[in-house]
Chain A
Amino acid sequence: MKFLKYITLCAAALTLGSCADDFLDKEPSEYASEDQIKEVIERDPSAIQAYITGYYKNLFSPEAQQSHDDFGLKAFELATDLMGDDMAYLTQHFFVYDYMLDNRGSNYRRPTTCWQELYAVISGANEVITNLIGLAEDGDETVETMLGQSYTIRAYCYFWLINLYQQPYQWNQGKPGIPIYTETETRLERVPVKEVYDQILSDIDKGYNYLKGKGISSKAELNEYAAAAIYANILSFVNDYPDQWNKVAEYAQIAIQGGTLMNEDELLSGFNDINLSEVLWGADINSETNTFYASFMSNMDPFGPGYGGALGNYKMIASDLYDKIADNDIRKKWFGIDVDESNSHYNVRQYIQCKFVDVGSLGTGDTFCSDYIYLRTGEMYFVAAEALYRAGKTAEAKTMLETIMQTRVPGYTCSKSGDALLEEIEIQKRIEMWGEGRRLFDMKRRNEDLDRTHATNHSATTPKSVPAGDKLFIYQIPDKELNANSAITEQND
């Protein structure tokens, strides 16, 4: 009897440890698995939108973020602006090595994050294209919008990459470029520049055409006007494109239709809101999605608590460019602030930027919750003007210039012609786009030397003159790529 009792007891103990069928099958809950996502998409194909939202997010809040000087595309824009001649910087803090043209080594953060983050966005775009390509023929608007955004963003990322890691197209078509990943092929080697541009052009053309006629549903998403703007900027590099400058002008003018020119209030509102009337595409950021100190405004806003403000690392306009701003130009108010006297190491306050001011400083939002602006129509007037001029349509170019400039300088007219007109267009664009990441690429495609000798407020220790095409204008391929990719055999000097 007793024996039986113990055996029962034992059996009970045994059952404690016996296993249900799913004992070893565990589903992740911290992340979503590929299969889980597939299931969602099968049930509702529009759920693929999450990949698109995902790559947009990756563009301002990167998964691969390493440091407070990295916040995706806006960080790359700021870094390239600091590599040019229009931005001056005096302190030894984040972005100083960009300003010194010494943030390019293969083991440095900047070349690594630019590479990794832009390719991560490309990877996200490829996932969308792979998933939707089969449905492209159906003419479904949602599908086309998704595909259009994905091709466009892929084009834009490759465009940034090829210009960060190789010299400009016009003189370097045969040089080794960058790896190419698409929905159909993976080319791990450094694909020649020419072929990279073939891919970029093919993508932006598909992207623009899918988006064409669909309007703007949200400025946080790429749309037909934003795609046209990207198209125009890309074509500006492609000197052998048939009828290049007429095409650039055409797309720039399409982009212009995506917004209306800003008035004085808007121009002086801090460039922190995606709803500004010129904005074509940006990121809508709030207290849940912001990246705090690792953000654009942290590094720019002179009034805020961030690196560019309370921590004293002010971003300044180069004095020579500042001197070229007419006194009655509204944009002159983008520069010059009262700096607390106790910040004794600062004595150049008239050049400190206040174009970019955080919503937190203005009391219109939480600290560092400013939106990011990637593309706006203001730029496109100058792109169109330059293109029209180069296409020989001087009068139209002048009209284009005057149209925007009259909103910047009351009563503006331009009487210049010839090279002087082109120079005026270029100078006004530099003023207009200061801090928005256009200067370095413009220098590159025009084969301009870096010349910082005319400004009085550049740091004593930074390079003053660097000839166009110098290795300092491109990054080395990151070690993290080279260490794992044996198909790349050539490194930049």
Chain B
Amino acid sequence: MKVVMQSNMHELDEVMVVAYGTAKKSSFTGAATSVDGEKIAKLQVSSVSKALEGAAAGVQVISTSGQPGENAKIRIRGIGSFSASAAPLYVVDGMPYDEEAVNALNPADIESMSILKDAASAALYGSRAANGVVMITTKRGSSDKSSISVDARWGVNTRGIPEYDIMKDQRTYVKTAWNVLYNQVGGEEASAGLINSIGYNPFIGVANNEMVSPEGVVTSAPLRHHDDWADATLHNGLRQEYNISMQGGNSKTTHFLSLGYLKDEGILRNTDFERISARANITHTVNKYLDLTGNLSYARGEKNAGTSQGASLTNYSNAFMFTQQIAPIYPVYAYDTDGNRLYDEDGNVIYDYGDGTYSSRMAGFSNQNVAANSDLDVHQTLNDNFSGRGTINLNLFEGFKLTANIGYDLMNQVRTDHMNQLYGDAANVNGRTYKYNIRMQTFTANQIASYAKSIGKHSFDVMVGHESYSYIQNYQYTHKYNFYTLGNPEFNNAITMSDMNSYKQEHSMESYFGRVNYDYEDRFYLSASIRTDESSKFHPDNRRGTFWSVGGSWRMTQEEWLKDVSWLNDLKIKASYGTQGNDGILDQYGYVVYQPYLKQYTVSNNNGAFSVVESYRGNKDLTWEKSKNLNVGIESSFFDHRLKFDFDYFLKNTSDMLYNMPYPISSGISYIPMNLLDMKNQGFEFTLTATPFRTNDFVWNISINGTHYKNKIVSLPEDKRADGIIHGTSSLFRLTEGGSIYDVYTYEYAGVNPETGAAQWYMNVEDENGNVTGRTVTEDYTQADKYDLGSTLPDFQGGLSMDFSYKNFDLTIGTNFQLGGQIYDSMYMGFMHAGSNVGSNWHKDILNAWTPENKNTDVPIMDGAQNSNAQSSRFLISASYFNIRNISLGYTFPAKWMKAIQANSARIYVSADNVAMFSKRKGLDPRQYEYGYSAANYSAIRAISFGINLNF
């Protein structure tokens, strides 16, 4: 019983970081999840955004790219916006923080991350909290003891997700390409014409027309080369990370100081991320009236992204597309006809660009070599991130406090994209460089007055405040080509000016807010908040948005009739309701629009004359997107807190959604921003933590979280109701009332005609009045009809983690998983062409193509038909996966050894990230795709590190 009491005390003391302050967890009426900094520090992430994967209920992490330093996208409780940013608001130490700068934060500096999910917790950030809030709190010093912590780890980065199961055997490739011709013109002509189709003869000493005999036998002559594009382009990277921090203080002043260094090499050669970070967090109490806090941090980030940017399948400089999609017959390096590798006079390997010099390639792969260009090109981003937070608290009298906060974040970015003058895209213009200089500053200042008072059994606190926010981005872009010396990407080395632009983007907001909290005997809690914002993004008439929330909770275990139930430690029910807003309208390419209420024109130069072309048709009536948010939940704790269970039901109605309404393109533009759609995200989430086993030597903890939600379009504009709205990549999706935001609407594959091998699709059968009476199959793709083929959104997402400790050993296993949902696998679609794109590779599944001997298949005949692999349900695949996110094993040295080295504690550990990933198709990583359309993204990295941690 005594133990319980202590634990209870501990529970009561648990403090959460919430909007504009902190709150006791017990009194909190909202829905929020905290992730402990210690957990984050175990992972090998270069951006903390990736640390949330599987870590918290209701939080989806989309790690689009494995490129070191790349941020992940976070979605809280579903996708809540359409043509506006669906990203949560980031708040670092109480002040809004730019999403792009998240990779400047050193995970080792983080005390905790809180994810605010409902209206009661997030409404005070009303204006921009419609998609939730990620609050990051950095570490502070404690006044009771000083300590120094040193952490060093070294590791190896390897490819986390394998290649697709593509054709690697050159003879098989040649034979398959021959089959394509054979099926069109017969064996004789196929053998004669094969060279025209594949453009390269990979065999030694074989005439071009004898690579395959007219009977279909591939020559057994030796191959000219055995190059593997992936091997030549990728490598294993080294990862090293060092952190040192000191903290301490006295009753007046506390400090936390840290230095961090990270060098994270990617698996694509010449890609890496390096970060040097420093932080100083100081608090000082001047006297009983006045205390101050100052947090300063600086980070220098250097990211080399290699030739991996732009994941689209038409981007031939993307290594993850190129190495998988290029036919295996084409060599990486230059060879003579006898298969001898060629070297230049200095003995360096010569790369083959397939431009006719050494060989020719088909299907767009000529004039490019991603293995070579990664050494010669530059794709570098340099960031200087400065972040400052300052607080003055004035405690005027008992319970009454005035607070002024300022926050200033500055990011200076210099980005250089250089394409070399020898090979590839820019060879003919003698090299090309794009340079971007971007300076982003965010300034937030607020002034808050608060008063707290307890009268008998009643306690309340009241807070009112004012906040102003301004964001200024200065952008400058220059493009020159025609370079003189090799290896110098700077403009002083180039003579032809192509383009130079600069502009300034500004966003500002002015807000007033207030909050009342009330509790009765620590049993009943009520809170209410209101916030009103004016955003510069809207026309002066439509600027203001007012958002509010109410919430309440009842701690039932404080009631007399439950107090004596020994197995029940805590039981709380809670409910909240409120509204939040979003002003983050984006353009068709996903960029922020700063004046979406104005009609705008591009001004450019045409031979010394002004040229003006309409580029954006704004909408004066545009205003805030609003979401109404209901949350009902319980929090409970049983059996000496060895079992805890939290459950929340949520319903989020988003109305007046910011939506780029398709406009007839005959009007000269393709869309107009409007407040149009209504959408609903409804679901539940839970977190279950348990300690099934606990002795002095051995502890086993287990934690499961899960989220299920359904997304539903509630209303469409009247004239769109009948036909819905087509949208998304390759027009794959359709919005209809009652459907979800990502409902696939495309042609439905009906397999292969077993007699002819032709691909078939379904088409409607109509009676004379045009009514659909049924459906049949057609071999003519243009006659096929589109059908609703379900949502790509998953049914269930979750995380399961376990940790064990035995004596001085500790072991953590973190996993996450997803059930249901679909991916449109465009990579796979590219691999399944029926010979219309010879020169690009095939998936091994193509070997099952229809032939007169193999009639029972769903892979059509290889006859070069363009539509054979056209968009259809054939390329939809389940998005379910199970991922072993992290395993780490540590050993803490016995305390008695520590005295010898004058340390408090020492621990060594091994930690592995992205250990194993199980998805429906090898090579497909569903975690990378927010709405279920695959592309050639940078593979996730498997990082295995060894580390040592010392505390003095």
Chain B positions 188-216 with a Cβ under 8 Å from a chain A Cβ:
195-197, 199, 201, 208
A interface list, Cβ under 8 A from B: 2-3, 6, 9-10, 13-14, 16-19, 23-35, 37, 47, 49-51, 53-58, 63-64, 67, 90-93, 97, 100, 102, 105, 107, 112, 115-116, 119-120, 122-124, 127, 178-179, 181, 186, 188, 220, 284, 286-289, 292-293, 304-306, 310-312, 340, 342-345, 360, 366-367, 460-461, 478-481, 483-486
Residue in B357, B364, B406, B719 whose Cβ sees the most chain A Cβ within 10 Å? B364
**Candidates A6, A47, A49, A360; contact of B428 at CB < 8 Å:** A360
Closest to B867 in A: A102
Docked CA distance A24–B595 (Å) = 11
- Given A51-B612, A124-B613, check contact A286 B607 (CB 8 Å): yes
The answer for the CA separation of A340 and B366 in the assembled complex, in Å, is 15
29 residue pairs of the A-B complex, CB under 8 angstroms, read A6-B290, A9-B394, A10-B394, A10-B404, A17-B445, A17-B447, A26-B506, A26-B507, A26-B508, A26-B595, A30-B475, A32-B600, A33-B595, A54-B602, A56-B606, A63-B613, A116-B665, A120-B614, A123-B614, A188-B664, A188-B666, A287-B496, A293-B425, A305-B367, A305-B428, A310-B366, A311-B366, A312-B199, A484-B661
What residues on A are CB-neighbors of B356 within 8 Å? 310, 312, 340, 342-343
Interface size on B, residues (CB 8 A): 100
**Do residues B392 and A13 form an inter-chain contact, with CB atoms below 8 A?**
yes
Does residue B737 face the partner (Cβ distance < 8 Å to A)? no
Residues of A within 8 A of B499 (CB): 288
- The residue of chain B having its C-beta at the shortest distance from the C-beta of A187 within the complex is B666
Q: Which residues of A contact B595 (CB under 8 A)?
A: 26-28, 33
Asked if B900 lies at the interface with its beta carbon under 8 angstroms from chain A, I say no
Q: Are A366 and B664 in contact (CB under 8 A)?
A: no
**Known interface pairs A19-B510, A28-B595, A32-B612. Does A310 touch B199 (Cβ–Cβ under 8 Å)?**
no
Instruction: Kindly state the separation between the CA atoms of A481 and B669 in the bound complex, as whole angstroms.
Output: 10
Q: A32-B601, A292-B429 are in contact. Are A478 and B508 (CB under 8 A)?
A: no
Report yes or no: A53 in contact with B447, Cβ–Cβ below 8 A: no
Chain B 829-852, CB-CB to A under 8 Å as 1, else 0, gives 000000011100000000000000
Of A25, A288, A342, the contact of B497 (CB 8 Å cutoff): A288
Query: Shortest beta-carbon distance, A18 to chain B, in Å?
Result: 7
In the complex, B341 has a CB within 8 A of chain A: no
Provide the bound-state CA to CA distance between A112 and B197, in Å: 30
Contact of A32 with B603 in the complex, beta carbons under 8 Å:
yes
- Give the chain B neighbours of A460 by CB distance below 8 A: 184-185
With A33-B599, A105-B782, A310-B428 known as contacts, the answer to whether A47 contacts B610 (CB < 8 A) is yes
Among candidates A23, A53, A90, A481, residue contacting B508 with C-beta atoms closer than 8 Å: A23
Contacts of B402 in A (CB 8 A): 10
Is B468 in the interface zone, CB < 8 Å from A?
Answer: yes
Q: A119-B667, A178-B666 are in contact. Are A37 and B497 (CB under 8 A)?
A: no
Residue with the highest number of chain A CB atoms closer than 10 Å, among B428, B505, B725 = B428
A289 and B404 in contact, given A6-B290, A478-B665 (Cβ under 8 angstroms): no
Task: Return the 3 tightest CB-CB contacts between A and B, nearest first.
Answer: A123-B668, A305-B428, A13-B404
Give the contacting residue for A345; candidates B195, B662, B726, B782; CB below 8 A.
Answer: B195
User: Are A24 and B543 neighbours in the complex by a CB distance under 8 Å?
Assistant: yes
- Residues of B at the A interface (CB closer than 8 Å) are 184-185, 195-197, 199, 201, 208, 289-290, 314, 355-360, 362-364, 366-367, 392, 394, 396, 402, 404, 406, 425, 427-429, 445-447, 466-468, 470, 475, 482, 496-499, 503-510, 534-536, 540, 543, 594-595, 598-607, 609-616, 661-671, 719, 723, 725-726, 731, 782, 836-838, 864, 866
B residues in contact with A367, CB < 8 Å: 428-429
Query: Which B residues lie within 8 Å of A310 (CB)?
Result: 355-356, 366-367, 428
B366-A31 in contact (CB<8A)? no
Does the CB pair B664–A481 fall under 8 Å? yes
CB distance from B818 to the nearest CB of A (A): 30
**Closest Cβ neighbor of B474 among chain A residues:** A29
Closest to B363 in A: A92
- Residues in A neighbouring B731, C-beta threshold 8 A: 107, 479
Complex Cα spacing A474 to B404, Å: 68
Which of B197, B536, B725 meets A26, CB within 8 Å?
A: B536
* Contact call A24/B836, Cβ cutoff below 8 A: no
* Cα–Cα, bound, A366→B595 (Å): 38
Q: Would you call B367 and A112 a contact (CB within 8 A)? A: no
Contacts of A304 in B (CB 8 A): 428
Q: How far is the CA of A312 from the CA of B199 in the complex (A)?
A: 10
B-side contacts of A343, CB under 8 Å: 356, 360
A181 x B665 contact (CB < 8 A): no
Q: Quick one: given A47-B610, A124-B614, are A483 and B662 in contact (CB under 8 Å)?
A: yes
Contact in complex: A50, B603 (CB < 8 Å): yes
Residues of A within 8 A of B404 (CB): 10, 13-14, 16-17
Beta-carbon contact of B598 and A24 below 8 Å: no
Q: How far is the CA of A63 from the CA of B429 in the complex (A)?
A: 23
Q: Which residues of A contact B360 (CB under 8 A)?
A: 312, 342-345
Query: Looking across the interface, which residue of chain B has its beta carbon closest to that of A119?
Result: B666
Q: How far is the CA of A37 from the CA of B615 in the complex (A)?
A: 13
Q: Which residue of B lies closest to A13 (CB)?
A: B404
**Given contacts A10-B394, A53-B610, A343-B356, A287 and B497 within 8 Å (CB-CB):** yes
**Which residues of A lie under 8 Å from residue B601 when comparing CB positions?**
31-34, 37, 54
A115–B496 CB distance below 8 A:
no
A53 contacts B609, C-beta separation under 8 Å: yes
A483 in contact with B289 (CB, 8 Å): no
Q: Determine the distance from Cα of A37 to Cα of B534 in the docked complex, in whole angstroms.
A: 27
Chain A, Cβ-Cβ closest to B193: A460
Is B447 touching A14 in the complex (CB atoms < 8 A)?
A: yes
Given A26-B508, A292-B429, are A53 and B540 neighbors across the interface (CB < 8 Å)? Answer: no
Tell me the minimal C-beta distance from B883 to chain A in angstroms: 35
Distance (Å) between the CB of B366 and the closest chain A CB? 5
A289 to B604, CA, bound (A): 9
B661 cross-chain contacts in A, Cβ below 8 A? 484
State the Cβ distance, A199 to closest chain B Cβ, in Å. Answer: 14
**Smallest Cβ-Cβ distance to B502: which chain A residue:** A29
Known: A63-B613, A311-B355. 6 other contacts (CB 8 A): A9-B394, A26-B506, A123-B668, A178-B666, A344-B201, A366-B482
In the complex, A186→B356 CA distance in Å? 53
Within the complex, what minimum Cβ distance (angstroms) separates A209 from chain B? 25
Question: Which of A3, A16, A115 is B666 in contact with, Cβ under 8 Å?
Answer: A115
- The answer on a CB contact under 8 Å between B670 and A312 is no
A480 lies within 8 A of B662 (CB): yes
B408 to chain A, nearest CB (A): 11
Q: Which of B184, B503, B606, B670 contacts A480 (CB 8 A)?
A: B670
- How many Å from the CB of B204 to the closest CB on chain A? 16
- Tell me if B665 and A63 are in contact (CB < 8 A): no
With CB as the reference atom, state the residue of chain A lying closest to B722.
A486
User: Do A220 and B607 contact each other (CB < 8 Å), given the known contacts A16-B445, A34-B599, A485-B664?
Assistant: yes
Do A483 and B185 have beta carbons less than 8 Å apart?
no
Q: Which residue of A lies closest to B446 (CB)?
A: A17
* Distance in angstroms between the alpha carbons of A125 and B748 in the assembled complex: 43
The smallest C-beta distance from A63 to any residue of chain B, in angstroms, reads 5
> A353 CB to closest chain B CB, in angstroms?
18
Q: Cα distance A50–B612 when bound, in Å?
A: 5
Task: Chain A residues near B723: list those with CB within 8 A.
Answer: 483, 486
A residues near B607, Cβ cutoff 8 Å: 220, 284, 286, 289
Q: Least Cβ distance of A470 to chain B in Å? A: 14
Q: Which residues of B contact A186 (CB under 8 A)?
A: 667
Docked Cα-Cα span, A9 to B396, in Å, equals 13
Complex Cα–Cα for A242 and B185 (A): 53
Q: How far is the CB of A459 from chain B (nearest CB, A)?
A: 10
CB–CB B665/A26 < 8 A: no
A481 to B667, CA, bound (A): 9
Indicate if the CB atoms of B540 and A2 lie closer than 8 Å: no
Specify which chain B residues have a CB less than 8 angstroms from the CB of A289 in the assembled complex.
605-607
Q: Among the interface residues B195, B498, B661, B725, which one has the most CB atoms of the partner chain A within 10 A?
A: B498
- Write out the residue numbers on chain A whose beta carbons fall within 8 Å of the beta carbon of B446: 17
Q: Could you say which of B185, B364, B498, B666 contacts A93, with CB atoms under 8 Å apart?
A: B364
